[in-house]
Amino acid sequence: MSGRAAGRRGARDGRRAMRRVRRVADVRRAIARWRKQGRSIAFVPTMGAIHAGHLSLVSLARRSADRVVASIFVNPLQFGPHEDFRRYPRPIRRDRIAFAKEGVDLLWEPALEDVYPPGDATRVRVERLTEPMEGTSRPGHFEGVTTVVLRLLNVVQPDVLWLGRKDAQQARVIEQMCRDLHVPVDVRRAPTVREADGLALSSRNRYLDARLRVQAVTLSRGLDAARALLDRGERSAARLKRAVRAAWRDARDVHEDYVAVVDPATLQPVSRVKGRVLVAVAARVGPARLIDNFEWSAR
């Protein structure tokens, strides 16, 4: 089914047909028209390769605002020199159909020059929160994230921004950026969507063959083991980390990047759990680098 046909079907189902635009001026015109009508706007930024996790963000966005804007932009600034920018999946036609069926009103697919115009010389950096975990493993990554997200926000100017909890550090960094720079948007996090066996949905799961897919599940199983210890009263961060790693022991293609037990607000490591805690992991499984986490607090 073509994107146009999906839009017609959405209209028959009682939803508005999705409009696709590329240029900044077109986005701003659509937003201005909705603002004149008194409409509220929710925004879901993505890099495409849409899966059920992205669609859950759209579903929540539709309930939180009158209109939903989504974007697809594979941001080169957040990829390191040896990362997967060139092979990152880009199934654009399928993505368009999925967004149209889920009820996106406006899909923005900017070209590189729309986001980074010729002569571009501005970057956005959030300190401290970007240094541990992903910041250690992927230098410069978060500067790319904050720079692109702020630019997208400046164009869309939404009331609500929806992010996924799987990217917990990214969400926390963006929250801080919006607070520090007085960006008038309500940043909300949606629960991680998982396969039936617990594997967190990720666009990079496409890199996994059947054998690697079985091993990738050990990331969530390790987190489940740590959560079970916390529920039973364990408070030692070292023991929680050992429980995570024990679940990976027989997965020969799972190579640890980090296992972290941190304060969810500061992202600084803790040695003992005293309140809320974020347990986060990153590992390479064959060609895929995967992340997962959970946040826990005593009841």
Distance CA 229, CA 223 (A): 10
Q: Specify whether 143 is located in the same domain as 216.
A: no
Q: Specify whether 107 is located in the same domain as 175.
A: yes
Task: Answer whether residue 15 shows pLDDT above 80.
Answer: no
The reported pLDDT for the residue numbered 200 is 98
Q: Specify whether 167 is located in the same domain as 28.
A: yes
Least confident among 14-23, 136-145, 147-156, 228-237:
14-23
User: Where residue 12 falls among pLDDT bands split at 50, 70, 90?
Assistant: very low
The reported pLDDT for the residue numbered 16 is 82
For residue 112, how far is the Cα from the chain centroid? 20
Indicate which residue of 51, 54, 141, 182 is catalytic.
54
Task: CATH number of the domain at 130, please.
Answer: 3.40.50.620
The reported pLDDT for the residue numbered 298 is 83
User: Where residue 240 falls among pLDDT bands split at 50, 70, 90?
Assistant: very high
**Mean pLDDT of all residues in 167-180:** 98
Does residue 170 form part of some domain?
A: yes
Q: Specify whether 165 is located in the same domain as 21.
A: yes
Helix (H, G, I), strand (E, B) or coil at 256: strand
Does residue 196 form part of some domain?
A: no
**Mean pLDDT of all residues in 224-233:** 98
Q: Specify whether 208 is located in the same domain as 171.
A: no
Q: Specify whether 20 is located in the same domain as 109.
A: yes
Q: Specify whether 276 is located in the same domain as 183.
A: no
Q: If 0-12 CB within 10 Å is exposed, 13-18 middle and 19+ buried, where does residue 76 land? A: middle
End-of-domain residue from the set 161, 190, 219 = 190
Q: Specify whether 261 is located in the same domain as 181.
A: no
The reported pLDDT for the residue numbered 106 is 98
User: Where residue 217 falls among pLDDT bands split at 50, 70, 90?
Assistant: very high
Q: Specify whether 263 is located in the same domain as 285.
A: yes
Range of the domain at 100: 3-190
Q: Specify whether 212 is located in the same domain as 180.
A: no
Q: Specify whether 221 is located in the same domain as 181.
A: no
Does residue 197 form part of some domain?
A: no
Respond yes or no: is residue 51 known to be catalytic.
Answer: no
User: Where residue 14 falls among pLDDT bands split at 50, 70, 90?
Assistant: low
**Mean pLDDT of all residues in 82-90:** 95
DSSP string, 169-187: HHHHHHHHHHHHTT---EE
Domain count, the chain: 2
For residue 56, how far is the Cα from the chain centroid? 12
Does residue 27 form part of some domain?
A: yes
3-state per-residue secondary structure call for the chain? CCHHHHHHHHHHCCCCCCEEECCHHHHHHHHHHHHHCCCCEEEEEECCCCCHHHHHHHHHHHHHCCEEEEEECCCHHHCCCCCCCCCCCCCHHHHHHHHHHHCCCEEECCCHHHHCCCCCCCCCCCCCCCCCCHHHHCCCHHHHHHHHHHHHHHHHCCCEEEEEHHHHHHHHHHHHHHHHCCCCCEEEEECCCECCCCCECCHHHHHCCHHHHHHHHHHHHHHHHHHHHHHCCCCEHHHHHHHHHHHHCCCCCEEEEEEEEECCCCCCECCECCCCEEEEEEEEECCEEEEEEEEECCC
Computed over every residue of the chain, the mean pLDDT equals 95
Q: If 0-12 CB within 10 Å is exposed, 13-18 middle and 19+ buried, where does residue 37 land? A: exposed
Does residue 269 form part of some domain?
A: yes
Q: Specify whether 239 is located in the same domain as 166.
A: no
Cβ pair 51, 201 in contact under 8 A: yes
